[in-house]
A and B are shown apart, each in its own frame.
Chain A
């Protein structure tokens, strides 16, 4: 499995445009809010937590429909399924790879987006932490969605429709944590709830995705 993860990272490094594209998408979506809401600082700061989480999750969705699609097209998926690694293990590697190659670059861009949304600087640290957990939830759910929609004709459209509703709890608690910190309240309970979601999905989503890959 380490060999497979190394392969994921190497492939991502050879085509940095994919990760960079998601980061630019994140920053641009976050930049749309000041234009839509108007530049009034107080109104922006109120919107900032939700806008930040929503933009990050949308950006993290971008590479998901190629996650298994690209592997299936060039025949690699058959070889991966025949490599002796269990399909659920393969799904777990894909989820971790997605988080490392898509979510981590997004986290680095959080200060840029947060500044544009006028989020108080004392909440930036919590914003990175909350988004790290929320994107982890999305990586796990997204791997499941990608495995389920593999081979479906409108997979690229179906996938967000399948994954985003399931990500609503993560949005609520991530935005809650950032808002709590900005309002001077402890974000701890929100972050713990987020971590609990990630802990629940970490075994379940790869198992379900593995079953979908096997039948696909």
Chain B
């Protein structure tokens, strides 16, 4: 159970948002909407613990996540703007590092790559991938090991409709297993029943 208690975010002298509170339970999803610069990415970074909130707290099961950031980091999966792929490593090698950090083996990598349809490209260096394939590779990282909270920043940028449908399956399976999703996006996301938070 994630709860956000009156957080604020400042950029310079200007408040991006303030007094923001919401909660999210198992299986629920939240869409962040708002114009460019409304603070969607900043809110995701605060939720992940990458950025300290100017005010307020982010609570997980009633405990302040700022007190044990490594533990909070282990229960979330992060999909940022950038794809975080090293061009000289193969797709599988790019995944394997984070699989090992999540305590998973190579079979979890193969499964995750198959889930986004990249299994045939696993042994190619990441620099030869197209933009959409790179995005799918970073989506595959979400499915390595189980983590209850997924934080997604524009997950569908560059994806074709078939890949968006694949993402929909990943998201549905994650939510069916009690996972939570918070996504910032301008595009349609396959998240049935998701609440929308306008920033």
Contact = CB atoms under 8 A, between A and B. Distances in A.
A78 B88 contact: no
B89 A3 contact: no
B11 to A, nearest CB: 15
Given A75-B82, A75-B83, A83 B98 contact: yes
Contacts of A75: 80-84
Given A11-B88, A11-B89, A15-B88, A83 B82 contact: no
Nearest to A77: B84
A121 interface: no
A82 B76 contact: yes
Interface residues of A, number: 22
B176 to A, nearest CB: 24
B50 A78 contact: yes
B84 A86 contact: no
B93 interface: yes
Contacts of B50: 78, 81-82
Contact of A4 (B78, B101, B102): B101
Interface of A: 3-4, 6-7, 10-11, 14-15, 73-76, 78-79, 81-86, 214-215
22 contacts: A3-B101, A4-B101, A11-B88, A14-B89, A15-B88, A74-B82, A74-B83, A75-B80, A75-B81, A76-B84, A78-B78, A78-B80, A79-B98, A82-B76, A82-B78, A83-B73, A83-B101, A83-B102, A84-B70, A84-B101, A84-B102, A215-B52
